[in-house]
């Protein structure tokens, strides 16, 4: 469908055929020239660019990465020395070629290092953005299809982002979040620009500065989660608007507030447990994110694939002790 100007938006992957018609012909018969386009849905943690999320883990002690790549029938890709003690993964598509670029952020020095897919994974010169007290919160805030480095200071509720579309000029925001609130930047209003947002576990309150509304601070919901729940906001229904969601390891309980039903609540139990963490991503490549969990002790994954009726798919030995899952930003 035509959204505005020359922007087209489609709600699921597939093929679109554009066929010219002949003005002036009473029957508006099709002209010969036709052209087909593939409709794609951008996917996070997609290292090979086949539009399906890949399973990836990172070991902080030595900066080892292992990824099971969907485009090659889940062959294992491997790297070491990419990061290391103090570095956490903050992957995104920083160069905009649809392939996720392994990237790390140092918790105390604020050093960012990225290995860009378009440069053959050569190390980029390090940037120092953030440091102690700042959490990395990368996302595509300006909507140019490149991930923008960003940081959030929990003590003050201050945000800074370096926007790829404007030469990595820094922009700042304040008054969003504070002690007890974690960053959850996603595109909540569906304008293809990530919105700075926070989740406060104590009260289950979600607040966002919506890009489509002049970055006015909006309370998306309260009582959506609570102290035992971690956030796992993603677009679960495939309308390009992120759906607030939370996961409680005890009982493997999930709650989601789904945009296409006016933030109607859905929930599940026995989807996980105390040893499992939530790692939802779009593993099957349809438009909807799949709820998923990872257990470090066994390197096990369980994915409820939206494209096949949410029947769980299990993997094991993909990771293991010391390996944390790479979270999709
Ligand atoms: Ca890339
Ligand atoms: Ca960007
Ligand atoms: Ca937005
Ligand atoms: Ca949604």
216 and 209 in contact (C-beta within 8 Å)? yes
CA of residue 168 to ligand 2 center, whole Å: 9
Determine, yes or no, domain membership for 77: no
Determine, yes or no, domain membership for 315: no
Backbone angles phi, psi at 176, to 5 degrees: -120, 105
- pLDDT, residue 8, reads 72
CA of residue 224 to ligand 4 center, whole Å: 16
Question: β-strand 300-304 against 292-295: which pairing, if any?
Answer: antiparallel
Q: Read off the pTM.
A: 0.92
Determine, yes or no, domain membership for 230: no
Q: Which ligand has the minimum distance to the alpha carbon of residue 101? A: 1
CA of residue 167 to ligand 2 center, whole Å: 10
Determine, yes or no, domain membership for 48: no
Determine, yes or no, domain membership for 103: no
Determine, yes or no, domain membership for 319: no
pLDDT digit string (tens) for 232-258? 999 999 999 999 999 999 999 999 999
Domain span at 10: 2-39
CA of residue 11 to ligand 4 center, whole Å: 11
Q: pLDDT tier at 18 (50, 70, 90 boundaries)?
A: confident
Which range is least confidently modeled, 70-79, 278-287, 305-314?
70-79
Percent of the chain topping pLDDT 70: 93
Determine, yes or no, domain membership for 16: yes
pLDDT digit string (tens) for 58-68? 999 999 999 99
CA of residue 257 to ligand 4 center, whole Å: 9
pLDDT digit string (tens) for 181-223? 999 999 999 999 999 999 999 999 999 999 999 999 999 999 9
d(CA 146, CA 161): 13
Residue 131 has pLDDT above 80, yes or no: yes
Q: pLDDT tier at 171 (50, 70, 90 boundaries)?
A: very high
- pLDDT, residue 35, reads 80
52 or 36: which leads in pLDDT: 52
Domain count of the fold of the chain: 1
- pLDDT, residue 102, reads 96
- pLDDT, residue 72, reads 83
Determine, yes or no, domain membership for 19: yes
């Amino acid at each position: 469908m035509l959204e505005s100007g020359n922007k087209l938006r489609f709600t699921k992957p597939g093929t679109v055929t554009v066929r010219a018609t002949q003005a002036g012909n009473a029957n508006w018969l099709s002209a010969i020239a036709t052209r087909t386009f593939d409709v794609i849905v951008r996917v996070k943690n997609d290292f090979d660019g086949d539009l399906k999320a890949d399973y990836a883990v990172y070991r902080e002690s030595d900066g080892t990465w292992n990824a099971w790549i969907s485009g090659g029938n889940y062959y294992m890709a491997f790297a070491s020395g990419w990061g290391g003690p103090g570095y956490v993964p903050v992957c995104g598509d920083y160069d905009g070629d649809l392939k996720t670029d392994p990237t790390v952020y140092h918790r105390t020095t604020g050093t960012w290092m990225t290995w860009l897919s378009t440069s053959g994974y050569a190390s980029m010169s390090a940037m120092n953005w953030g440091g102690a007290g700042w959490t990395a919160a990368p996302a595509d805030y300006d909507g140019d299809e490149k991930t923008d480095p960003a940081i959030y200071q929990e003590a003050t509720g201050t945000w800074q982002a370096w926007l790829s579309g404007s030469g990595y000029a820094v922009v700042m925001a304040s008054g969003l979040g504070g002690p007890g609130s974690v960053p959850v930047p996603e595109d909540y209003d569906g304008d293809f620009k990530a919105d700075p947002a926070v989740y406060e576990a104590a009260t289950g309150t979600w607040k966002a500065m919506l890009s489509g509304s002049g970055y006015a601070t909006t309370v998306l919901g309260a009582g959506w989660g609570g102290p035992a729940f971690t956030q796992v906001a993603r677009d679960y229904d495939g309308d390009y608007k992120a759906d607030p969601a939370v996961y409680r390891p005890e009982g493997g309980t999930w709650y989601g507030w789904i945009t296409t039903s006016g933030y109607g609540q859905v929930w599940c139990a026995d989807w996980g447990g105390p040893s499992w963490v939530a790692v939802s991503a779009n593993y099957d490549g349809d438009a909807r994110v799949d709820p998923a969990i990872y257990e470090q002790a066994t390197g096990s994954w369980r994915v409820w694939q939206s494209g096949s009726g949410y029947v769980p798919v299990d993997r094991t030995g993909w990771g293991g002790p010391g390996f944390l899952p790479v979270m999709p930003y």
